[in-house]
Amino acid sequence: MSEDFKFTESLVESHRLIEEDRANEAIDNVLSHTSDRGDVSITVISHWTGSIRWGRNVASLSSDSRDVIVQIGRRLHPRTGGRGGLATTNQLDPASLKGAAELAEHYAHETNRPNGLDLDLQRPNHKSIEGDVWSDATFNRTVTENAGLIRDITTGSKSEGLLSAGYVEVIGTNITSYSRDGWQKVNRYYGEMTQAQASVTVRHPKGTGSGWAGQSSFDFARLDVPAMAKRAFDKCVQSIDAVRVEPGRYTVILEPQAAHSFFHVLLRTLNRFPQEAGGGHYTLGYDALIDRHRTKLGMRIVDERITMFHDPEHPLTGTMAEPGLEAVTYINKGVLSALATSYSYALNELLETSYIPSRGSYYVAGGDTSMEEMIESTSRGFLLTRVSAPSVVDHQSLLTTGVTRDGLWLIENGRITKAVRNFRFTESPLFMLNNLEQIGETVPVFSPVTHRRAILHSRGSGITPVVVPPIKVRDFSFTSTVDAI
Amino acid sequence: MPRRLIYILTGFLILLSGGLTTVVEGQTLFARPDTTPDFSRYTNADECVVAASRLIQADIRERELWADTAIHDPTRRTQPPPDTARNVLRVCMEKFSFADMADAPNELIMAYLLAGQGEKALEVVHMEFARLIDSGATGEVLSDRFLSTLQSVRGMVHVDMDFINDMYVLGTSYIPADSLLQTVGLHALVMTIAKDVGDSAFAWQAALNAKDAYERGEDNLPTSQELANMVKVIYVSVLDHLGRNSMMDSLAVSTESYRNAKNNIWRIVMKDSTVELPDQVGHAVTSLEGDFWYEATGFNKDGGATNYSSISPRVVPTPGRNTVVTSLQGCHTYTTRVDAGRHNGSNPGCFSRAATMKRLKRDFPEVDFIVITGTYGVVGQAPPLSEPEEADTLAKYYLSFLEMPVTLVVGKTPSIRLEEPDRRRVDLPLPALESFQADGKPVLGIGTTAIIDSEGKVVMNGGQITPRYEDDIRRLLTALRRQNSE
């Protein structure tokens, strides 16, 4: 067994992530087997996930997963657009690194067919802003600590005669990269992030009630798992023996998690190119004079109390670095003020090199109305915990359908009076946000990293912190009742 | 031993040891690589048809790879389906019943044709039309259905020309004689199919039939103006085919007689209409204007440019020389890669045009080729360039990399900015294109081509300098060469 293989082994025993020096050592090792010709990019990604999951009050999984990925990209004719070679290894010993470097070199030679003009027409380096998304509180969480949390929750649900399920997950990642382009310009980068996320679902054994709560943040200290679990318990208990109410248009208070589902539908469509291609809901119409579709940029599209932005440096919406990622305000006091663009779009349509990358993270500025005030000021309406599987059925109006879940209550004369069976809703976030009655204080909502690859391959968009206020809207359309709890 | 040789030998050994069988067995029904049919995995006729279709698609992909720069071959697009696909159906026809496919008659007809069973294909046509007649379909419905069937099997013509012949005879019985559009359409379609396979005698006869049918039924044009025009357009294409030699002969005499010949055909077709021949043939052009000029200064044996230099503006088209002028807009712009000019669907791209220009320059070295284009502000992924920088870059791209054997005229494209917050740049028409006129109208549109004779008169405008129009351009340049020599 070689010395370096021992290192990999000891990594499993004691290191959750490899350190920057060790990653740079691996990069230098690869470079020593790479010729000076063409361009090269080497990325060392170290990833760790600690996860505990449970179902029906019994822990089902306690995992500790860690991996190192070394990606080597080579192109011999970067100026002429020739394809390149890519090789990947998760071993850090010299023999493996040498093998991977040679493989990338071999692939680059195999695909080495210059198919373009030798011109200095590369895109410029874009600055990228990075938030502080590292937390020792997250990274230092131990299995024992997490298990303790789970034990308390499962014990509590057992004693109440309820069933609980969920997970607590902590993630750490660092990325060390080196790139050298065809003009020998070298870029080095090091970034690190953590993510903590927890979800608790509590259900009545007879399937008559259900409650849910979830939180996510880069910092575990910002998660209050016991309080979260209590909220899920309470919602479950309070939603037992729900009654049926006739569907129709009602005033609805959407808790932040429910509001997030609708804002997220909005966010996904905030891209400029499709709107100007003529098929979007922000398309104003075709202007024959300029032979282009005009958009609603600069026009009010929702209530003026709505401001939606993202700042990668904001303490609550921080993300890792990504080329071109800067702060953007999509909707400013109800006015559509920016749409995401690609570099190609910005260059060709605006003759600019700065662009607005699309992202999954956002912040909706809130008001100062409390949930209690919202309930007290409602003569007849509903309080909605969250929605399930919202899907857009009409892309022109953004009409979205889905079902309510994990707690829906009737409000009568300023008081919550009874739990209600779930509804199917068919509503557009655009209509909804034009029927805004009240807006509450913003809070971070559950926006988990659902796939490890999201972090490994897309940096900034990998973690998507979201901050949303609760909102009260009128004439929200429930179209039918559903039997699911 | 060189690594490549090791791979070749290893591959050879795998083949010899039967290793390939494992690969084929591991292949799913609908997965690539799809060039090796695996009959053992097909369980019914549908799967065979899917497999054959996959093999044909793979063959088309293979043929279209770099096809835009291949030596010109007018029949390239109608090459016969690959033997592998035909073999799949031959074998499958012996193993499975294709009767279940009766509800998809067109697919069934194609399957029979591929399997070399044209007589069965014809039976399906008979059965299908008997069914249609039983269900009460008459006249126009039958005609449309018949023509669409014929159109759909057009790609099979190399397989069984007898079938096309039978269909032609059959068509005359299904299509009512008083339906002028469908009758002329049938003859014209058969003429096109025969041209595709290079059967000029068959094509000539079909064209004559179309001409006779039109002239017999001319007083019975459809009442709808749109349909009547459609018949006339088909008739023009037939006359064009029949009169091609005489037209070229007239051009060899002079551009004026060529214009008169075209006008005569136009008058025959349009008869009482006052609409003028909608082109500028025979009219003198103004001189080209541009802001940046470059010229290829040497040519290789394939007609490509070997060198180029920046030049001062000069009088173009040059009196006394035949000239082909083409505008290139969008062949490289609106892309983020300057090398994205390869054939892509309906856009022939820069590679295809350059290859056509080189072939024409090789065969007509006495002809001047001019490319006119405009600055756009952006080339490739680089930050925006100044106009002189962009013009230099375009010259390098067109004349050095693509080796276009041309004089390149680059005009500055004016543009406006939309108001905030839109800020999009909107291009205005290129002045260099707008000012290049004949008969008071611009000669060139975006991406189109014009041929100017040695007296500075338009011989052709419209079309593109691509393989699709290469034959037409070549014929015209040959006639002009004869005109000059006489």
Are the beta carbons of A122 and B337 separated by less than 8 Å? no
Find out whether the peptide bond into B319 is cis, omega within 30 degrees of 0: no
The owner of tokens 């318990």 is: A233
Is the confidence at residue B13, as pLDDT, over 70?
A: no
Question: How far off is chain A from B58, nearest CA to CA, in Å?
Answer: 21
| pLDDT for position B436 | 95
Cα-to-chain-centroid distance, residue B147: 21
- The reported pLDDT for the residue numbered B47 is 83
Alpha-carbon distance values, B213 to A417, B148, B176, B186 (Å): 84, 20, 12, 10
Sign (positive or negative) of CA dihedral B346, B349, B353, B358: negative
Residue numbers in A near B330 (CB within 8 A): none
User: Is B339 in Cβ contact with A81 (below 8 Å)?
Assistant: yes
Query: Do A372 and A337 meet the contact criterion of CB atoms below 8 Å apart?
Result: no
A319-328, A375-384, B437-446: least confident range? A319-328
Interface predicted TM-score (ipTM) over 0.90 = no
Confidence (pLDDT) at B31: 38
* Confidence at residue A401, expressed as pLDDT on a 0 to 100 scale: 95
**How far is residue A158's CA from residue A57's CA, in Å, rounded to a whole number?**
7
* Chain A residue closest in CA terms to B403: A117
Q: What is the mean pLDDT of residues B260-264?
A: 82
Report yes or no: A238 at the B interface, CB cutoff 8 Å. no
* B483 token code pair: 């005109």
Distance CA B289, CA B292 (A): 9
Look at residues A156, A168, A29 and name the one whose alpha carbon lies nearest to residue A89: A29
Cα A359–B334–B291 angle (5° rounding)? 135
Averaged pLDDT of chain B? 79
Counted residue by residue, chain A has a size of 485
**B271 in contact with A, Cβ within 8 Å:** no
Stretch (H or E) spanning A168 = strand A163-180
**pLDDT recorded at residue B33:** 43
User: Which 428-457 residues of chain A touch chain B by CB within 8 A?
Assistant: none
Averaged pLDDT of chain A = 87
Q: Which of A116, A290, A297 sits opposite B426 (nearest CB)?
A: A290
Chain A residues in contact with B339 by the CB 8 A cut-off are: 80-81, 115-117
The answer to whether B422 contacts A297, with C-beta atoms less than 8 Å apart, is: yes
Q: How confident is the model at residue B147 (pLDDT cuts 50, 70, 90)?
A: confident
Q: Which helix (H) or strand (E) holds A230?
A: helix A225-238
pLDDT band at B24 (very low <50, low <70, confident <90, very high): very low
Any idea which residue has 């023996």 for tokens? A241
| Confidence (pLDDT) at A123 | 66
Over range A110-119, report the average pLDDT: 55
pLDDT tens readout for residues B98-115: 877 777 888 888 888 888
Lowest mean pLDDT among A254-263, A265-274, B377-386, B477-486: B377-386
CB of A291 within 8 Å of a chain B CB? The answer is: yes
Q: Which residue does chain B place closest to A344, by CA atoms?
A: B336
**Position B471: which residue type?**
D
Q: pLDDT value at position B223?
A: 82
Residue recorded with tokens 């003028």: B276
User: Which of A121, A294, A297 is opposite residue B382, by nearest beta carbon?
Assistant: A121
| pLDDT-wise least confident of A350-354, A405-409, B337-341, B482-486 | B337-341
B380 touches chain A (CB under 8 A): yes
Cβ of residue B421 closer than 8 Å to a chain A Cβ? yes
Q: For the segment B285-294, what is each residue's pLDDT rounded down to a tens digit?
A: 999 999 999 9
Task: Please state which of the ranges A300-309, B72-81, B133-142, B161-170 shows the lowest mean pLDDT.
Answer: B72-81
Mean pLDDT of B336-350: 46
pLDDT in the model for residue B453: 95
Q: CA A64 to CA A66: how far, in whole Å? A: 7
Residues 6+ apart with CB under 8 A from A23: A44, A46, A174, A176, A190
Q: Do B339 and A123 touch (CB under 8 A)?
A: no
Best mutation target among A125, A275, A337, A351 (most B Cβ atoms within 10 Å) is: A351
Residue B258 identity (one-letter amino acid): Y
Tally of CB atoms within 10 A around A256 = 24
Handedness of CA A329, A331, A335, A336 (dihedral sign): positive
